[in-house]
Amino acid sequence: MTLTHSMYRMPVPAQGRRWVLRLTLAAAAGGIALGRDAAGAGSALAALRAGGHVGYMRHAITDRSQVDTGRLGDRAGQRNLSPEGRAQAAAIGRALAILGVPVGAVLTSAVFRARDTADLAFGVDRAEVVPELVADDYEPDPARVAANARWIARRLATLSRAGATDLLVGYIVPLGLVLSRALDADEFPEGAIAVFRPEAGEARHIGFLRPSELLGAAGMPG
């Protein structure tokens, strides 16, 4: 199943017509092969630990009383991590280390909820900030949203070095564009990781790993 053929058939999510426009423009994203049924959390975790895969991590838990303004660099005008989210991000980093995940490149955006997640999980300034991972509501140009989705699809199909597990820290909507379907918070909650295997220039979706599953595997409270 490719992006091009399925995006037009997906149900319209709550975001309404803006989402549909973005999906239509992103329909040419291409470059990613998707299994019909992604494997479960155990397979996703095993893939992370084995290396040779790429994870797309959603930022940690946020303060829903805060509203995004779309202004990069304005922390007060963004939805930031809650205290629970800051603790969750640090715990995810510890769990990945306990489980021996060979973390390679870490990429994130300048929007603070993702950048803070990367800093807390992997160390301050460990992550590279890249514009293509910006949150969709911080990009007013739908054509750029589509281009960013294409970039993410290509990056999920590319490893920085052999045996590593690269991690992209981002948001739920861009991953929905890549997977060509709406994602909800039960399937891909804050702090979850979607795991992909690069093969033959494409990326195959292995499965989702929720934060409770990751922390539980590491023997940590979820």
Q: Residue 13 has what pLDDT? A: 39
Q: How far apart are CA 221 and CA 35, in angstroms?
A: 31
Mean pLDDT of 134-159: 93
Structure tokens at 78: 């963004």
More confident residue, 75 or 9: 75
Mean pLDDT of 70-81: 95
147-187 pLDDT per residue, tens = 999 999 999 999 999 899 999 999 999 999 999 888 999 99
Q: How confident is the model at residue 16 (pLDDT cuts 50, 70, 90)?
A: very low
Q: How confident is the model at residue 22 (pLDDT cuts 50, 70, 90)?
A: low
Q: How confident is the model at residue 221 (pLDDT cuts 50, 70, 90)?
A: confident
Q: How confident is the model at residue 117 (pLDDT cuts 50, 70, 90)?
A: very high
Q: Residue 120 has what pLDDT? A: 98
Quick check: 94 pLDDT over 90? yes
More confident residue, 218 or 20: 218
Structure tokens at 39: 């494997």
Q: Residue 41 has what pLDDT? A: 85
